[in-house]
């Protein structure tokens, strides 16, 4: 059964490189900073965070499946899987938890292939182009829905 006080934070491929990967696009904040920002916003809204980052799609899908046992919702930055993964979409819709899709950069101001998201039409919340502060925005908006 879901725990109404826990959210799963999912960060996809290459987000482990935050802080060093293309800082002109993604800024200087690290993945640890993202997890702290998200946890702080969640705590303010009465939630705790369980965080996972993986460069492997199946690991992310397994974590999403497990979330239905003890989480009320999901905050996800799927990275490049946003534009390619029907399987990730199926996992998110399959568990039946509301989720927030987050992108640090404004994907609509970047390469054309980044404009398509397999998640946009099933996400309860979308936050795009707000930097790492977008994670806190996503938590607040998701918490209001819960």
Domain boundaries, the chain: 6-145
Closest to 5 in 3D by CA, of 70, 85, 56, 54 = 70
What is the predicted pLDDT for the residue at 1? 45
Task: Quote the Cα angle for 40-46-52, to 5°.
Answer: 55
Residue 43 predicted with pLDDT over 80: yes
What is the predicted pLDDT for the residue at 3? 53
Query: Mapping DSSP to helix (H, G, I), strand (E, B) and coil, where does residue 120 land?
Result: coil
With beta carbons less than 8 A apart as the criterion, state whether 74 and 145 touch. no
Specify binding-site residues for substrate: 77, 83, 90, 104-105, 114
H or E element that contains 2: none
- For the entire predicted model, the pTM comes to 0.93
Average pLDDT, the chain: 93
Known catalytic residues are 26, 103
6-145: CATH, from 2.40.10.10, 3.40.50.9100, 3.40.50.1980, 3.30.200.20: 3.40.50.9100
- Give the C-alpha separation, 104 to 51, whole Å: 17
Specify binding-site residues: 77, 83, 90, 104-105, 114
Instruction: Provide mean pLDDT across the span 9-38.
Output: 94
């Amino acid at each position: 059964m879901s725990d109404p006080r826990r959210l799963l934070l999912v960060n996809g491929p290459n987000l482990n490189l935050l802080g060093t990967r293309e800082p002109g696009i993604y800024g200087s904040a690290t993945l640890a900073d993202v997890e702290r920002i998200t946890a702080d916003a969640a705590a303010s809204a009465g939630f705790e965070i369980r965080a996972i980052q993986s460069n492997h799609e199946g690991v992310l899908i397994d974590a999403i499946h497990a979330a239905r046992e003890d989480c009320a919702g999901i905050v996800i930055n799927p990275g490049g899987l946003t534009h390619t993964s029907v399987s990730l979409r199926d996992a998110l819709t399959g568990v039946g938890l509301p989720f927030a899709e987050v992108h640090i950069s404004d994907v609509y101001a970047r390469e054309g292939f980044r404009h398509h998201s397999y998640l946009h039409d099933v996400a309860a919340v979308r936050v795009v182009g707000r930097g790492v502060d977008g994670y806190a925005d996503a938590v607040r908006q998701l918490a209001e829905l819960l």
